[in-house]
Amino acid sequence: PLSKLSNVGTTIFSQMTQLANENEAINLSQGFPDFMPDHELLDHVDYFIKKGFNQYAPMGGMITLKEEITRKIENSHQAIYHPDSEVTVTAGGTQAIFTAVATFVKKDDEVIIFEPAYDCYEPTVELFGGVVKRFEMKAPDYAIDWTEVRNLVSDKTKMIIINNPNNPSGKILKENDLQELIKIVKDTSILILSDEVYENIVFDGKQHLSIARYPELKERTLLVASFGKLFHVTGWKIGYCAAPKALTNEFRKIHQFNVFSVNTPIQLALAAYMKNEDHYNNLGQFFQEKRDFLRKGLAGTSFGLLDCEGTYFQALTYDKISDKNDFDFASELTINHKVASVPFSPFYKNKRNDHVIRLCFAKKQETLERAIENLSRL
């Protein structure tokens, strides 16, 4: 093969967005807001650029931002990270995930993932010679059978990747899940990569149970989060990895040769903006209104609504409308009905087809209204 990932295609998110654009469809596929971020945040960026903060940031990130990050984690999860030695600012969640895997996964190491799994986990593990072991969560409830997960563990298990809240299913982990995970890793040297980029988008008064809350997990975890999701700026590509000092030390050895450091004025702007906690504490409520609007609008249609506990994605079944596979159905929906979605099957190695598609509701009211109107015609 020409490259190490010759067998991999273009991500489903790029594919569906392209199809949406070609067909002038309402794009509820790739997860990004179609509304403006807060002007106050934009003003901070403008200020720092014009003030002259336009050169390299320190390799691990600007200290003011790292302090705001650790304050946020402490306030939300009562967990302490040292801003200078335990937080690294990254060029988005994906880069943090890539760097974490690159740092720790060696040839023949086994990595456990939960499917439907965000599409970068598996290729990244394989790029570094790791072997993926998977547990399939299935529609409609996407529950985890921890006995089966335990059976995937061997003396080669290097890492377990969890994604909570889960993209694409919208499921969140419960206390019982975390307790089971604690039992599995106890007395092992297994690392955890915890992708929590949707941590602030949890609904119905439920609580996001971050890994950071559990000392037995925190000590072995690389915790990944994203400002793109937190402040409606996915195009800024900025996030972070929080991890105990010894893990952060190793992580940064790769980070320094991968991106070296991240956009300076934006880091300063985020730090200034985060001083006011109201800027991130009400995100769940904000998106819950959008979720409820979409669900209410689709309730009378032929689509089935699966539970959505978190993230800005609503999963839909379409058995009453078509028996096509989800990829063909999503393509048809984009071309003929002008609503782009993301099928679930690309999130499974075996392309498992439960006839489920995902709609992103991080959109203006009018965008959601137009989508509901089109979907009501099916």
Q: Which of residues 187-216 bind ligand GLN (CB under 6 A)?
A: none
Minimum CB–partner distance for residue 20 and ligand GLN (Å): 12
**Smaller CB separation from ligand GLN, 214 or 313:** 313
Nearest approach in angstroms of CB 329 to ligand GLN is: 18
Q: Which of 167, 221, 264, 314 binds ligand GLN (CB under 6 A)?
A: 167
List binders of ligand GLN among 259-288 (CB under 6 A).
none
Q: How far is the CB of 345 from ligand GLN (least distance, A)?
A: 15
When asked if residue 310 is in the footprint of ligand GLN (CB under 6 A), the reply is no
Please, which residue, 226 or 317, has the CB nearer to ligand GLN? 226
Size of the site for ligand GLN (CB under 6 A): 5
> 81 or 312, CB closer to ligand GLN?
312
Closer residue to ligand GLN, CB minimum distance, 30 or 124: 30
Q: Which residue lies nearer to ligand GLN by CB, 5 or 299? A: 5
Q: Which of 30, 124, 267, 288 binds ligand GLN (CB under 6 A)?
A: 30
- Minimum Å distance from CB 115 to ligand GLN? 14
Q: Which is nearer to ligand GLN, 284 or 346 (CB)?
A: 346
Environment class of 125 (CB within 10 Å of its CB; exposed 0-12, middle 13-18, buried 19+):
buried
Nearest approach in angstroms of CB 31 to ligand GLN is: 3
Smallest separation (angstroms) from ligand GLN to the CB of 11: 6
If one asks whether residue 11 binds ligand GLN (CB under 6 A), the answer comes out as: yes
Beta bridge pairs of residue 193: 161, 222
Binding of ligand GLN by 128 (CB under 6 A): no
Residue number with CB closer to ligand GLN (31 or 33): 31
Site for ligand GLN in 89-108 (CB under 6 A): none
Minimal distance in Å, beta carbon 170 to ligand GLN?
Answer: 11
- The Cβ of residue 51 has, within 10 Å, a number of other Cβ atoms equal to 10
Q: Is the peptide bond before 215 cis (omega within 30 degrees of 0)?
A: no
Do 354 and 343 form a contact (C-beta atoms < 8 A)?
no
Smallest gap, in angstroms, from Cβ of residue 153 to ligand GLN? Answer: 28
Among 15, 26, 27, 31, binds ligand GLN (CB under 6 A): 31
Q: How far is the CB of 30 from ligand GLN (least distance, A)?
A: 5
13 counts as binding ligand GLN under rule CB under 6 A: yes
In this structure, the chain runs to a length of 378
User: Can you give the chain as a three-state secondary structure string?
Assistant: CCCCCCCCCCCHHHHHHHHHHHCCCEECCCCCCCCCCCHHHHHHHHHHHHHCCCCCCCCCCCHHHHHHHHHHHHHHHCCCCCHHHHEEEECCHHHHHHHHHHHHCCCCCEEEEEECCCCCHHHHHHHCCCEEEEEECCCCCCCCCHHHHHHHCCCCEEEEEEECCCCCCCCCCCHHHHHHHHHHHCCCCCEEEEECCCCCCECCCCCCCCHHHCHHHHCCEEEEEEHHHHCCCHHHCCEEEECCHHHHHHHHHHHHHHCCCCCHHHHHHHHHHHCCCHHHHCHHHHHHHHHHHHHHHHHCCCCEECCCCECCEEEEECCCCCCCCHHHHHHHHHHHHCEECEECHHHCCCCCCCCEEEEECCCCHHHHHHHHHHHHCC
Question: Whose Cβ is closer to ligand GLN: residue 11's or residue 322's?
Answer: 11
Cα 303 to Cα 42: distance, rounded to the nearest angstrom: 38
Q: How far is the CB of 8 from ligand GLN (least distance, A)?
A: 14
- Position 239 contacts ligand GLN (CB under 6 A): no
Q: Which is nearer to ligand GLN, 30 or 210 (CB)?
A: 30
Nearest CB to ligand GLN, comparing residues 10 and 189: 10
Asked if residue 370 lies in contact with residue 28, where contact means CB atoms within 8 angstroms, the answer is: no
| Site of interaction with ligand GLN (CB under 6 A) | 11, 13, 30-31, 167
